[in-house]
Chains A and B, each alone.
Chain A
Amino acid sequence: MVFVAGRIVAAIPVLALVLIIVFLLVRAIPGDPAVVLLGPGATREQVAALRDQLRLDLPAPQQFLEYVAALARGDFGLSLKTGEPVLTEILLRLPATIELTLMAMLVAVVVGVPLGVICATRVNGPLDHLLRLVSLVGVSIPAFLLALLLQLVFASYLGWLPVSGRSSALVTEAPITGFAVLDAILRLDSAGLQSALAHLVLPCAVLAAFLAATLGRYVRNSMLETLGEDFVRTARAKGMTRPRIIYVHALRNALLPAVTILGLKSAEMLGGAILTETIFAWPGIGRYMFEAIRNRDFPVIQGTTLVFALIYVMASLAVDLIHGALDPRVRRRML
């Protein structure tokens, strides 16, 4: 608990620094949000009136202090574009991104970890070379290219999967939790569940590809190192079976760096899902932030950046706690 509390306190200056940087950066980008909002026909007086209404002409430090004071009350401000509360808009979209990211993480672990183990246990064999090549492609291929290829092959040519979206356009029920899979389960709607899962496949594959490939490489290297350790030699000498050595003893040790990678990359995925969300018309927070940057919607940019930073900090903390759970030496250092 002391460890967790200490990490939370340590995160505050990090979040503050992120906020300051973003606050200043968005105001340094050329382009007046009042002009964007009012449209091309706006007169100079109308633009000035809106800037005054939105308090955009106040000195930056004053704007920042007002923003921080509002944040302390849980008020992330109003979207300049829609006038809706930023926090509400973020919470509306966060489930879509979390659902996509969690599924992608699951796929990445299910694919990447065995990939690494297989490569390590058949090192320098044909399978090792093949899987390392696959892994290289997974790491190298740009996300947008993979997305378009998957859409063309599986959605357009084969017709197995939908092209985009979270559900069929013919299904327009209001969300319950915002998690399409969970909502379908709560509605006891098996067809809806099928649809939600089917719509998840392609965007998940795109998002998981890089992480699975990266995980595979880390697990392979870590396994090779672990399999060369003295304790593994001892275990073999004691007559332990190979599967037991690999999956019970070696893998647990080899997973530690992979857990770190998984945690940090997953936090990145939340923000890096922008491309995937855009191509697959996935209504998540990454796409929301991208639109906000195009529209110079300062409160949304600030709010979403803060949320991403918070998620990154929490992911980092979670990684440390998992490390502690896996490795008693780390656990002792935390106490």
Chain B
Amino acid sequence: MSITRRSLAPAIVLPFVSVKVFAQAANPARTLVVAVPSDAVGLEPGTNRAEPIGSEIILNVFDTLVSWTPPEFNTLEGRLARSWTISPDGRSFEFELREGVLFHDGTALDAAAVKFSLERTRAMNPFAQASFNLINEITVVSPRLVRIVLKEPYPAFMSILAQPQSAIVSPAAVARLGDQFANNPVGTGPFIFRSRQADTNIVLEANAQYFRGAPKLDRLVYRIIPNASTRRLELENGGVDIIQQAGQLAAIPAETIQALRNNRNITIIEVPSQIIRQLEFNNNKTTGPIADIRVRRAITHAIDYDGLLQGIFGNTADRVYGPLTSNSWAFNPRIRDLAPKYDPAQARRLLAEAGIRPGSLTLPLYTFQGALWGAVATFVQANLADVGINVTIQQTEFPALRALHTSGNFDIALDGRQPWYNDPDAHITIGYLSSLADTAMTFRFPKDDALDAQILKAQQTVSMEERKALYFKLQEEILARAPGAFLFSPKLIVFARANIRGLVINSAPPLNEYWGVSKQ
């Protein structure tokens, strides 16, 4: 086709008249477009740092040995593994692999590939080292049988194997591509990585040879759209098919959710998460008002928890009563009764006992930027003012807030944790083990040998029932220390065009899988 002057002029003018005639290389009925707020960082397990975009792409381009069964995500099912056994001492895991599974480059999955992948991730991914360093040895027993032996019992290891950093890569592709494998991932998953344009899109195409059956889509396109309003407009206009709650630190305000709820072309899917957001105290401080447990308890009684959920979230978040969310298998039902109640009078009494006169205490409240955090901080500020504590809100961008947190330069802060694997260990160990106090997203617990020993015992006990009992006890002990006011667990909210079917939304980590998705 040649472009003459005659055809070029209308070609320039026509867009201003009608622009629905775009070049459409893909069939829109079999192309799913997902809007995400930022570009992916690591597209393969070796470079993945638990950032949501890259992690979700990994779950769709690769497979893990096991995964959680939707929709409850309480039981594990084999993915690349057909079956597995765990030794009585909880240290040895043996997996029998499925037969006939191929990587996208045509090479076959075998036990050697599993060994290669996990050892590679352990060697090159600093974010995975905390859990992967538990691995003592990986043995190829036979082409279909691989054994992983840990240095010590760690029942949560099966959860670790279900998350993106444990995905299995093609050794042949790694050997062929070297460093470039990070930009050209090759797995066994339902979608094949096709292309990437920086800050624009990431394109995956269907793997017709996928062992669970070919996806119902031909193509999956991640469009990078940083602005939340723009993502919403694109969804309403049909420019994208799915938008998700933006990142880990923000959420679409309830009024926006209400606006989309009234749109017949859009479906809103809400799934409980295991994210916990709290008003936390600097539990490592030995001086100052927050060091006094009466002051901490007073603050926990000053918060109107139900008012917060209704007024700010409008049912898009669930109440959190303690160190675990209510949908965790290890959640202790007694925590609902033991959790501090909204009782301003009790708060004032405790402050008086601690010698704090009304209006004499001023605390800076650090929190992240964003409308949601601002609204929560304002609510908390009002609650605390009601009991005589003055709060100045300091909304701070993420790196600066993390610096404050890890250096311990704060008294109270709004923060939270999104567990990256589906096990109570993700909240309890990371949140409350004293040796991790100086890392981020912890409650900065001071050294407590007894509590630390209980945490490690619960982590390493093999019997599920015994673990449950230990976590029950731990929740009560932690709550008694008043480490913070547990505020809410935001639901995972996905907005999809009404013709989308079959979307699977994992809760921990909160990532979507698109193998079963179709467009009607």
Q: Chain A interface (Cβ within 8 Å of chain B)?
A: 29-33, 35-44, 46, 49-50, 81-83, 89, 92-93, 148, 151-152, 155-156, 159-175, 185, 188-195, 197-198, 201, 278-281, 283, 287-288, 291, 294-296
Contacts and interface: CB of A to CB of B under 8 A. Distances in A.
B15 A283 contact: no
B49 to A, nearest CB: 5
19 contacts: A31-B397, A39-B49, A41-B439, A43-B130, A44-B406, A49-B126, A148-B229, A167-B23, A169-B240, A170-B221, A171-B24, A172-B195, A172-B221, A190-B11, A194-B15, A194-B21, A281-B223, A281-B227, A283-B224
B270 interface: no
A171 B25 contact: yes
A31 B402 contact: yes
Contacts of A33: 399
Contact of B15 (A148, A188, A197, A279): A197
User: What 5 A-B pairs come out closest when comparing CB atoms?
Assistant: A31-B399, A283-B199, A40-B440, A198-B15, A168-B22
A29 B399 CA distance: 9
B26 A172 contact: yes
Contacts of A288: 199
Given A171-B25, A171-B26, 16 more contacts: A35-B402, A36-B398, A36-B402, A40-B440, A41-B441, A50-B126, A82-B41, A165-B223, A166-B200, A171-B23, A172-B197, A189-B23, A194-B19, A194-B21, A294-B398, A294-B399
Q: Which among A190, A191, A195, A295 has the highest number of chain B CB atoms within 10 Å? A: A190
A243 to B, nearest CB: 26
A288 B203 CA distance: 20
Interface residues of B, number: 72
Given A31-B397, A278-B226, A43 B221 contact: no
Nearest to A35: B402
Given A41-B127, A281-B227, A170 B25 contact: yes
A42 B24 contact: no
A161 B399 CA distance: 37
Contact of A163 (B14, B23, B197, B239): B239
B3 A188 contact: yes
B41 A30 contact: no
Contact of A281 (B225, B404, B441): B225
A74 to B, nearest CB: 20
Interface string B405-422: 010000000000100100
A191 to B, nearest CB: 4
Contacts of A151: 229-230, 233
Contacts of B182: 83
B23 to A, nearest CB: 4
Given A82-B41, A169-B239, A172-B26, A40 B221 contact: no
Contact of B33 (A92, A169, A296): A169
A155 B19 CA distance: 10
A174 B195 contact: yes
Nearest to A195: B22
B126 A46 contact: yes
A166 B402 CA distance: 35
A70 to B, nearest CB: 20
A163 B230 contact: yes
A170 B225 contact: no
Contacts of A167: 22-23
B7 to A, nearest CB: 7
B259 interface: no
Interface in B1-58: 1-3, 7, 11-12, 14-16, 18-26, 28, 31, 33, 38-39, 41, 47, 49-51
B129 interface: yes
B226 A281 contact: yes
A172 B3 contact: no
B123 interface: no
Contacts of A155: 233, 237
A174 B233 CA distance: 26
A164 B127 contact: no
A164 B230 contact: yes
Interface of B: 1-3, 7, 11-12, 14-16, 18-26, 28, 31, 33, 38-39, 41, 47, 49-51, 126-127, 129-130, 182, 194-195, 197-201, 203, 219, 221, 223-227, 229-230, 233-234, 236-237, 239-240, 397-400, 402-404, 406, 417, 420, 430, 436, 438-441
Given A81-B41, A93-B199, A171-B25, A38 B225 contact: no
Contacts of A41: 50, 127, 130, 420, 430, 439-441
Contacts of B39: 291
Contact of B126 (A42, A161, A162, A190): A42
A281 B199 CA distance: 8
Contacts of B224: 281, 283
A87 B417 CA distance: 35
Contact of B403 (A32, A93, A174, A190): A32
Contact of B198 (A31, A89, A294): A89
Nearest to A50: B126
Contact of A192 (B23, B198, B201, B226): B23
A173 B36 CA distance: 20
Contacts of A296: 399
Contact of B201 (A38, A44, A169): A169
A194 B12 CA distance: 6
A39 B404 CA distance: 15
B400 A31 contact: yes
Nearest to B430: A41
B250 to A, nearest CB: 13
A163 B403 contact: no
Contacts of B127: 38-39, 41-42
A288 B199 CA distance: 8
Nearest to B415: A40
Given A39-B50, A156-B236, A188-B2, A295 B24 contact: no
Contact of B225 (A29, A165, A192): A165
